Amino acid sequence: MDGHVAPRLNLDAVRADFPILAEKVRGKPFTFLDSGASAQKPRQVIGAMVRMMETAYANVHRGAYHMSEQATEAYEAARGAVARFLNAGDVREIIFTGSSTNAINLVAHSYGRGVMKPGQAVVISEMEHHANIVPWQMARDAVGIELRVCRITDSGELDLDDLAAKLADGKVGLVAVTHMSNVLGTVTPAAQIARMAHEAGAKVLFDGSQAAVHRRVDVREIDADFYVFTGHKLYGPTGIGVLYAKGELQEAMPPFLGGGDMIAEVFFEKSVWAPYPAKFEAGTPPIIEAIGLHAAIDYVNAIGMSAIEAHERALVDRAMARLPQIEGVTLLGRAQDRGGVFAFAIDTAHAHDVATLLDRAGIAVRSGRHCAEPLHERFGVESTCRASFGLYTTPAEVDLLADALHQAREFFR
């Protein structure tokens, strides 16, 4: 970082911001290692949402009265905060949706079915979340586009040679891949993927549900055409997701959902769409959630994404030093560039039995297939446990996990 030392994250202060971390589970401190599924919420987010409801709430874009104008201003300010968070060039390139899943479905519908032509192909990868698989299967079955699956290497990295091969015939209209795997922790080389896609005449979508939480994302630097993330994994509320989409693409795309707020004029014979991004925000949007997401972005910005990244880097190094040392524990994936997500199997026990034991120690991990069934097939494992870190995760929690896993293996031996 140009000799610049990243500011350190004050872990005690951070943890004090999250009321739930003071809870006890089965009489033990709550060791929350499932932030990859959904992160906990700081007081700043909770407070902003409560304040909005108590002092400044009304529907947006509708009322010619003070409260509605104030709510509209707050909602649009949240859009501005998201645009700056992603370094988008234009605030209108930010569409609010209900979730990452909704955002990908929007693209699959409005771009996949609405703009792409039958015979064109979408490339996804073997390490996608179901949310970035199923919408494309549905688009494939509806309009006859082809679905291609880019391989990953045994270490859990995107196989760029295979990506090049998949792009070679020039038929690919869109590459839709994760920016960070929710199972392997692999961070994909977004700028390189975008370059390869663009050279082959394809657009590119990144599922940033995991990545945007752990490091600074600059959609212009990586030259993403679409970028998706969700509020609830970024210490914000559920019920809000973000789709970044370049203006020229939004211009060309038909709406996804029809209803109020997305139209300029409505007659019974026809309607005229509102300009983007309103065209893609039918109905009353997640207003309170947008205010919560704004507060969450302010929160991580105040700590600093580089400080968060440095903190999590140290946790990843510690986990990589400890977890593979435990006899009988196998980690899935060994990517060079990775974030704080670890999926593992234990030789003597099934993932669900391990999770039940860890719960007894107050440790919350996810177990199963983590909405990535094809990836588990790829690695030939039935199911895994997954530990995922957040900005409030402590080195001591990583140690506790390692100790507990060792004891869990002994328990089932």
Partner 1 sequence: MSGGLFDDLRDLYQEVILDHGRKPRNFRRLDDADRTARGDNPMCGDRMELFVKLAPDGHIEDATFEGRGCAISMASASLMTDTVKGKTQAQARQMGENFRALAMTGVCPDCGGDIADDMERLAPLSGVHDFPSRVKCATLAWHTLNAALDGGAKEASSE
For the annotated catalytic residues, the residue numbers are 371
Q: Does 377 bind partner 1 (CB under 8 A)?
A: no
Q: How far is the CB of 86 from partner 1 (least distance, A)?
A: 33
Q: How far is the CB of 360 from partner 1 (least distance, A)?
A: 5
Within residues 295-354, the interface with partner 1 by CB under 8 A covers: 349-353
Please check whether residue 228 is in contact with residue 205, taking contact to mean a CB–CB distance below 8 angstroms.
yes
Q: How far apart are CA 193 and CA 65, in angstroms?
A: 48
Q: How far apart are CA 210 and CA 268, in angstroms?
A: 43
Within residues 265-284, the interface with partner 1 by CB under 8 A covers: none
Q: Does 189 bind partner 1 (CB under 8 A)?
A: no
Quickly count: other Cβ atoms within 10 Å of residue 398's Cβ: 26
Quickly count: other Cβ atoms within 10 Å of residue 304's Cβ: 16
- State how beta strands 366-368 and 384-388 pair: antiparallel
Q: How far apart are CA 312 and CA 16, in angstroms?
A: 18
Which of 31, 100, 383, 388 is close enough to bind partner 1 by CB under 8 A?
383
Q: How far is the CB of 368 from partner 1 (least distance, A)?
A: 6
Q: Does 407 bind partner 1 (CB under 8 A)?
A: yes
Which of 369, 372, 379, 393 is close enough to bind partner 1 by CB under 8 A?
369
Q: Does 396 bind partner 1 (CB under 8 A)?
A: no
Closer residue to partner 1, CB minimum distance, 253 or 331: 331
Q: How far is the CB of 407 from partner 1 (least distance, A)?
A: 5
Size of the site for partner 1 (CB under 8 A): 22
Q: Which H or E element spans position 251? A: helix 247-252
Q: Does 182 bind partner 1 (CB under 8 A)?
A: no
Residue 264 tokens, joined: 């300029």
Q: Does 38 bind partner 1 (CB under 8 A)?
A: no
Which of 102, 367, 388, 393 is close enough to bind partner 1 by CB under 8 A?
367
Which of 159, 306, 374, 412 is close enough to bind partner 1 by CB under 8 A?
412
Sheet of strand 384-388, all strands in order from the earlier edge strand to the far edge:
329-331, 341-346, 384-388, 366-368
Which of 328, 368, 374, 395 is close enough to bind partner 1 by CB under 8 A?
368
Please check whether residue 243 is in contact with residue 205, taking contact to mean a CB–CB distance below 8 angstroms.
no
Q: How far is the CB of 350 from partner 1 (least distance, A)?
A: 4
Q: How far is the CB of 406 from partner 1 (least distance, A)?
A: 8
Residue 168: exposure state from Cβ atoms within 10 A (0-12, 13-18, ≥19): exposed
Handedness of CA 125, 228, 313, 390 (dihedral sign): negative
Q: Does 123 bind partner 1 (CB under 8 A)?
A: no
Q: How far is the CB of 53 from partner 1 (least distance, A)?
A: 32
Q: How far apart are CA 10 and CA 179, in angstroms?
A: 27
Q: Does 134 bind partner 1 (CB under 8 A)?
A: no
Closer residue to partner 1, CB minimum distance, 192 or 407: 407
Q: Which one-letter DSSP state was computed for residue 97?
A: E
ω into 277 cis (within 30 of 0): yes
Which of 115, 249, 361, 364 is close enough to bind partner 1 by CB under 8 A?
361
Which of 67, 382, 396, 399 is close enough to bind partner 1 by CB under 8 A?
382
Q: Does 357 bind partner 1 (CB under 8 A)?
A: yes
- State how beta strands 94-97 and 241-245 pair: antiparallel
Please check whether residue 251 is in contact with residue 61, taking contact to mean a CB–CB distance below 8 angstroms.
no
In degrees and rounded to multiples of 5, residue 400 shows phi and psi of -60, -40
Q: How far apart are CA 162 and CA 184, in angstroms?
A: 19
Closer residue to partner 1, CB minimum distance, 250 or 388: 388
Residues binding partner 1 (CB under 8 A): 349-353, 356-357, 360-361, 367-369, 376, 382-383, 403-404, 407-408, 410-412
